[in-house]
Amino acid sequence: MEPVSQAGSHPEPAADQIGSLDADPGQQSLGPAPRKSAGMGLWMRDLLVSATASVLIITFLYQPVRVEGTSMLPRLEDSDRLFINKFVYHFAAIERSDVVVFHYPRDPEKSYIKRVIALPGDRLRIDHGQVWLNDKPLRENYVPEEYRDSRSMEEIVVPEDSYFMMGDHRSISSDSREFGPVDRSLVYGKAAFVYWPARDAGVVR
C-alpha cells in the first residue's frame, strides 16, 4: 500500500386467528404462544436483512487494505488494516487534507497512501519544510514537529485534474516532491477507518 432498506414488515395476524385454527375451545393458552413465536420470527428476519445489508455495503463500497511502511505516521502505522471508500469520489470532490489511495504514477501496479496537500490550480512551494499554498503558510497539525524536515521546493502550479500528495512523516516520505502531482484518474479511494490493530482503530483524519 503506501509504496499500500428499511426492512419490510407484514401485519401480524390477530391472536384469535392464530389460536382458533385447530384449537380445542377449552384450551385458551394457544393464542399467546404463536404470537410470541411470530414476533421472534420477525425479529430474526429483520436481523438477517440488516446483517446482509451490512455485508453488501462493506463488500461493494469499502475495500480492506494494509498499510506498508511508515510515511503516514503518526496516524497510520506499518501493517495497519483499514477500509477505504471506493465510491466516495464518484459523488464528492477530492479535498485538501483527505487521505487517499492511488496508483503510483511510475508503476501503476503499486498503490500509495498519502495526504492531499494541494488541488488543481493551486500555487505551491516549500521553504525549508514549510508548505506555502497560494502565498499563505499551510497549517498542518497532522505533522508533528519531530516528523518535519527542512526540504525546499520551487513554486509550481498544480496542473488541471491533478493533486499534490505528501506523507505526514515528511522526513521519510516518497511523495509528490519526487514524482510530481498525481493525476485524478489514478486516485481510487479515500481512507475511511482503521479496524486493526485495536489500539489504532478509528476514523482516519
Catalytic residues: 71, 114
C-alpha cell at 186: 489514478
Provide the pairing of β-strand 162-166 with 81-85: unpaired
Return phi, psi of residue 141, to 5°: -65, -15
Q: What's the rounded Cα separation, in Å, for the pair 167 and 165? A: 7
User: 102, 147, 113, 106: which is closest to 129 by C-alpha?
Assistant: 147
Q: Which residues contact 204 (CB under 8 A, 6 or more apart)?
A: 75, 76, 82, 99, 191, 192, 193, 194
**Cβ count within 10 A of residue 184:** 14
- Please report the DSSP string for 164-200 in residue order: EEE-SSTTT--SHHHH-PEEGGGEEEEEEEEEESGGG
